[in-house]
Amino acid sequence: MLKKLSFFFIFYFILSNNAISVTGTGEVKLSQSVISGYMKYLNMNSIHNKSYGAELATGNPSFFAITKSGNGYGYSYCPKGKQCRFDPTVALQLCRKYTDKRCYIFDRKRKIVWGNKNYKISRKATSSEIREILEELGFTGTKKSSTTNSSTTETKPKITKKKKVENKSSVVKQIQDLNEMYKSGVISKEEFDKAKKKILE
């Protein structure tokens, strides 16, 4: 009995370690087709999946696997009312079969585990909310550019305003100096008007 128990724990430990070792790490940007596939995977418990046929009846998402390039995927789920073994093998095999590349686990039971993110996706999350989450976590490649654009638009008006203030004070000083020269008789009225016009252009 003790021998059987120790064998079970060793087998469970190997399975657990295998699940951890296949979790993806590093930077990855998901393609639109992978994002669409991920939405379908997350909605496995939704009534909408009845349109996919009896083989894709409602169920609970298990594992979602992707390639390092973010262009290929495969997933597994447990059909409603059935007992399933919690194992990443099916998702990894399907991903490998359709892409012919090595695959890694991105999501485990609605939780993004790539790069130890451990971000749980709510069952109530809409498609647009899921896209926002992927963007915030850096999986779409759009967050960086949007923040860069907003920061440049914020700083531009400040620089322009400062320049305008500097130019205005410079013009006032030049006209004051010109006025002093005219009053002291250094330049004529005609020269004063001509110089003033040039400064204000």
Q: What distance in Å separates the CA atoms of residue 33 and residue 26, rounded to the nearest whole number?
A: 20
Within-domain flag for 146: no
pLDDT of residue 144: 47
pLDDT of residue 168: 66
Within-domain flag for 71: yes
3 state DSSP class of 103? strand
Q: Write phi, then psi, for 67 (nearest 5 degrees).
A: -85, 165
84-137, pLDDT tens digit by residue?
A: 888 899 999 999 998 999 999 999 999 999 999 999 999 899 999 999 999 999
Within-domain flag for 23: yes
137-172, pLDDT tens digit by residue?
A: 999 976 544 444 444 444 444 545 555 555 667 778
Within-domain flag for 149: no
pTM, two decimals, is: 0.58
Within-domain flag for 148: no
Whether residues 137 and 174 fall in one domain: no
Within-domain flag for 147: no
| Residues spanned by the domain of 11 | 2-141
